[in-house]
Chain A
Amino acid sequence: MRYRLHIFALAAALVFAGSTVAQQAGDTAVIAVQGDPGHLNPAISTAGPLHAVADSLFNGLVSLDRDGNAQPDLARSWSVSPDGLEVRFSLTEGVTWHDGRPFTSADVKFSFEELLFRFHARARAGLAPAVASVDAPDPLTVVFRLKRPHPALLRQLDVTEAPILPRHIYAGSEPNRNEANSKPIGTGAFRLESYRRDDSVVLVKNARYFKPGLPRLDRLTFRIIPETNTQLAALANGEVDYLGRVSPADVARLEGKATIVRTTAGPGGANCIMTLAFNLDRPRLALHAVRQAFAHTIDRAQMLSLVQFGQGRVAAAPIHSAISWATLPGALSYDVNLSKANALLDGAGLARNPSGERATFDLLMFPAFMRYGELMRQQLAGAGIAIRLKSLDPAAFATAVFTQRDFDLALVSYCNGVDPEIGVSRMYRSAAIGNVPFSNAAAYRNADVDRLFDEAGSSTDVARRGEAYRALQRIVATDLPYWWLVETDFTSAWRDSFRDFAPWSGQFAERAWRSR
């Protein structure tokens, strides 16, 4: 509406132009994002474009530092009972919602029970099964009672995994249809000023923010710019200050022109491994030798250099290398060897037809992963394996792979999270087969692996947990329900005049400031 009035006045104004001097607004950071967030309720969706914007409006019980350790946020301290079955949080005093109402433990209880455990895909799959109850004995205390010890709990409570929403706004409503989804009320460092679909989201400083001295910026403007070349040009031209996600190929263009930070965590999740999932329900892929042949054929070093431009690592273990206490370096010892692969396939009875092909498989993936798919198609052709690429949008992909299970191969970016309980166990547990997006795509079943996950997931002793995770990695690295390709890093960039962005966190701009 504002625009419309302006445009109609435009012609008139051009005549009288040039009299006003532009005045300097307060410190604003302009953030380029590629897609529209859709709405701004981070508790009912795990969509990346949404969290990139909405996480600045809310808080979790804890925040995560660059190493993935929990730091105080809405909770100022916490304690775990000796048996590990009860975690007690003391909430920060004096926190208010953007509408002035006080924040209390009732909001936390409501958020988990009515929103996160019902609508947030990762909280629902990765946290809800471990939690017996969330209690609010007094306004400043929240107690999580657990069914079994759940050492990953703290790392699942940050604003991305478990944002806290106001009970007084959402109680008694249908969360998916609540008007507050587009006019959010949070506790966060910034509050919403305006949201124009496909154009921009403007946030302004929350003057009553409970962290003293924060935020330092007055405004955050998220500009939706679909074309990445335009994003880069806008950064170079000073119209945009921050790019949350720079594609690997573009990093070199920004070298020396902006502050570039590479992390293993980003708005989409932390510690992600690009993974090829074999549908073990398909007879040919149920053959161990066939999966081994894939491992001997796919050249992951070439993939890392061609597709990721070296920004990441060849996966050395089923668990991401950044989770150093749990990973098992060297677990994946398959060399690229076409003659071995061909021998394995011959042995498995997949003979070449006259045109040299042994079998054709459908590979499903998101459109953004097309280049991985094309490269694998090229590489696998060498072993006589033909690949039909099918790129599907996220919703259609989830339906085809996890609901209908109608696929041979699927390319999934499995984000391990900061603890294997968050993002690893869902890939292997037999209980995680079925209609939950991004769970056990392979339909892998192994009683020993299930038992080891139980052991690792319910112990509070890091050494014992690490041992269990390493033991199960030895098993899955042999069984090969997946082929772990490359660990993919996230790259963010911002103009040098800005400092202290935290791209690994949803609250990336909480501490950012502009130097004069």
Chain B
Amino acid sequence: MRILSRLTLVVGAIWLAATLAFLLIHLAPGGPAVALGGDSGAPGYLEEVARIYGLDRPLHEVYLAWLGNLLCGDLGFSYRSQQPVLTLVLDRLPVTLALIGPALVVSGLAGVALGLAWLPRPDKPHRGFVAAMAALHALPSYLVGQGLIVVFALWLGVLPVQGLVDERVPAGGGARLVDMARHLVLPVLALALHHVAFTALLTRARVAGELSRPYIVTAAAKGLPSHAVERRHALPNALLGIVTLFGARLGAFVAGAVVVETVFALPGLGRLAVTSAIARDHPVVIGIVLVTTAIVVLGNLATDMVLRWLDPRLAEGRS
């Protein structure tokens, strides 16, 4: 039952994103033909675009055709690069995944660890820690990125500044992979720090919340030491909520990639969204919006299923 409702969520979110994109295209100055085909100025060009996308039909038919095309995986055509949008997006997706995957892991682990280390105690509320995390959470990632470049690349000289590979390292083999990993360290950090702060504060609040619940109080009354209470009872329960919320922030990671990929000159989805937006290659931007929506909802679904597998109580409806 819950899986079914999660599936309606997946379909619903993608449908809503597609519908909003459709509305925006039709509201845009110049109309849908310009929005989808660009204004090349060639005579007859816009008529051609209108014909290809079937824009001359009644609006509801255009809309159904639009949804139908998306359903078949046809995200439109990029006039800037003369390629199907889907090809373009799938080509960039791995770079973005290589950026946000490690960032998710790093910020999850580091955030939970920090949050546990600074749990509020009656005698020590750790307001300084809260303020420090709030400040870290407030730092824009382009500032963090430029700062990391100055420290780790220019002062310490241990990591590269930009790109995904060093052309001078021969292609293929382990050396290229190590090289790629080195290139990803700073971008991953620049993306992760914001979320480390968020996760730390969240963990702290959630675990503290669990600790005040009756069963914990009982456990403590039975004489269990406080760190054991935290680890054995409070953390697992709090973790469920943390992971759920963390999964919901996948979209924020993709959004962060927009800036981080610009700073570090990485050819990922975020960079593609910006260059396409500036070049008015709207079908590509729409494609990225839709693919990102799909990633977010599928990521949530996966999180949900993993959690259910970890904790069967959820399947019984207690959440």
Is B275's beta carbon under 8 Å from chain A?
yes
Scoring B88, B164, B168, B181 by chain A CB atoms within 10 A of each residue's CB, the highest score goes to B168
Selecting from A109-117, A120-128, A232-240, A407-415, the interface stretch reads A232-240
Query: Can you list 20 A-B pairs with a CB-CB distance of less than 8 A?
Result: A3-B165, A7-B94, A9-B177, A10-B98, A10-B181, A14-B178, A17-B177, A17-B181, A25-B167, A198-B267, A198-B271, A199-B163, A200-B163, A223-B162, A224-B265, A230-B263, A230-B265, A233-B161, A237-B153, A239-B161
Name the contact of A2 in the complex, choosing from B97, B171, B262, B263 (C-beta under 8 A).
B171
Instruction: Name B95's closest neighbour in chain A (CB-CB).
Output: A3
B98: chain A residues at CB < 8 Å are 7, 10
| Residues from 76 to 101 in B contacting A, C-beta threshold 8 Å | 80-82, 88, 91, 94-95, 97-98
Nearest-CB distance from B143 to chain A (Å)?
A: 11
Give CA–CA (A198, B277) in the complex, Å: 13
Contact indicator per residue, chain A 1-25, by CB within 8 Å of chain B (1) or not (0): 1111011111001101111111111
**A residues with CB within 8 A of B:** 1-4, 6-10, 13-14, 16-25, 28, 30, 36, 38, 177, 182, 196-200, 202, 219, 221, 223-227, 229-230, 233-234, 236-237, 239, 393, 395, 399
**B residues with CB within 8 A of A:** 39, 41, 80-82, 88, 91, 94-95, 97-98, 146, 149-150, 153-154, 157, 160-171, 173-181, 262-265, 267, 271-272, 275, 278
Instruction: Name A36's closest neighbour in chain B (CB-CB).
Output: B275
B157: chain A residues at CB < 8 Å are 237
Q: Are A6 and B265 in contact (CB under 8 A)?
A: no
A177: chain B residues at CB < 8 Å are 82
Q: Are B146 and A198 in contact (CB under 8 A)?
A: no
Q: Are A239 and B163 in contact (CB under 8 A)?
A: yes
New A-B pairs, 4, CB < 8 Å, besides A2-B171, A7-B95: A6-B177, A20-B175, A223-B163, A234-B162
B175: chain A residues at CB < 8 Å are 20-22
A199: chain B residues at CB < 8 Å are 163-164, 267
Q: Are A197 and B278 in contact (CB under 8 A)?
A: no
Q: Are B263 and A233 in contact (CB under 8 A)?
A: no
Nearest-CB distance from B144 to chain A (Å)?
A: 13
Instruction: Name B97's closest neighbour in chain A (CB-CB).
Output: A7
B176: chain A residues at CB < 8 Å are 6
Given A2-B171, A20-B173, A239-B163, A196 and B267 contact (CB-CB distance below 8 Å): yes
Nearest-CB distance from A85 to chain B (Å)?
A: 35
Given A233-B149, A239-B161, A1 and B177 contact (CB-CB distance below 8 Å): no
Give CA–CA (A28, B160) in the complex, Å: 17
Instruction: Name B149's closest neighbour in chain A (CB-CB).
Output: A233
Scoring A202, A393, A395 by chain B CB atoms within 10 A of each residue's CB, the highest score goes to A395
Q: Are A19 and B174 in contact (CB under 8 A)?
A: yes
Name the contact of A17 in the complex, choosing from B41, B164, B165, B174 (C-beta under 8 A).
B174
Given A7-B180, A233-B161, A25 and B168 contact (CB-CB distance below 8 Å): yes
Name the contact of B170 in the complex, choosing from A10, A19, A22, A236 (C-beta under 8 A).
A22
Instruction: Name B159's closest neighbour in chain A (CB-CB).
Output: A237
Instruction: Name A24's closest neighbour in chain B (CB-CB).
Output: B168
B164: chain A residues at CB < 8 Å are 3, 199
Nearest-CB distance from A113 to chain B (Å)?
A: 20
Q: Are B267 and A227 in contact (CB under 8 A)?
A: no
B149: chain A residues at CB < 8 Å are 229-230, 233
Give CA–CA (A43, B96) in the complex, Å: 35
B153: chain A residues at CB < 8 Å are 233, 237
A200: chain B residues at CB < 8 Å are 163, 167
Instruction: Name B174's closest neighbour in chain A (CB-CB).
Output: A20
Give CA–CA (A225, B263) in the complex, Å: 8
Give CA–CA (A356, B175) in the complex, Å: 68
B161: chain A residues at CB < 8 Å are 230, 233-234, 237, 239
B178: chain A residues at CB < 8 Å are 13-14, 17-18, 20
Give CA–CA (A223, B167) in the complex, Å: 10
Give CA–CA (A196, B167) in the complex, Å: 13
A3: chain B residues at CB < 8 Å are 94-95, 164-165
Q: Are A25 and B267 in contact (CB under 8 A)?
A: no
Scoring B88, B146, B154, B167 by chain A CB atoms within 10 A of each residue's CB, the highest score goes to B167
A234: chain B residues at CB < 8 Å are 161-162
A16: chain B residues at CB < 8 Å are 174
Q: Are B170 and A25 in contact (CB under 8 A)?
A: yes
Nearest-CB distance from B187 to chain A (Å)?
A: 11
Give CA–CA (A299, B154) in the complex, Å: 39
Nearest-CB distance from B186 to chain A (Å)?
A: 11
Name the contact of A226 in the complex, choosing from B41, B166, B180, B265 (C-beta under 8 A).
B265
Give CA–CA (A229, B39) in the complex, Å: 33
Which 7 residue pairs across A and B have the least CB separation, nearest first?
A: A199-B267, A13-B177, A20-B175, A225-B265, A4-B94, A7-B98, A221-B167
A233: chain B residues at CB < 8 Å are 149-150, 153-154, 161-162
Nearest-CB distance from B180 to chain A (Å)?
A: 6
Nearest-CB distance from B271 to chain A (Å)?
A: 5
A24: chain B residues at CB < 8 Å are 168
Nearest-CB distance from A239 to chain B (Å)?
A: 6
Instruction: Name B39's closest neighbour in chain A (CB-CB).
Output: A395
Give CA–CA (A16, B177) in the complex, Å: 10
Q: Are B167 and A227 in contact (CB under 8 A)?
A: no
A30: chain B residues at CB < 8 Å are 167
Q: Are A28 and B167 in contact (CB under 8 A)?
A: yes
Q: Are B265 and A227 in contact (CB under 8 A)?
A: yes
Give CA–CA (A24, B169) in the complex, Å: 7
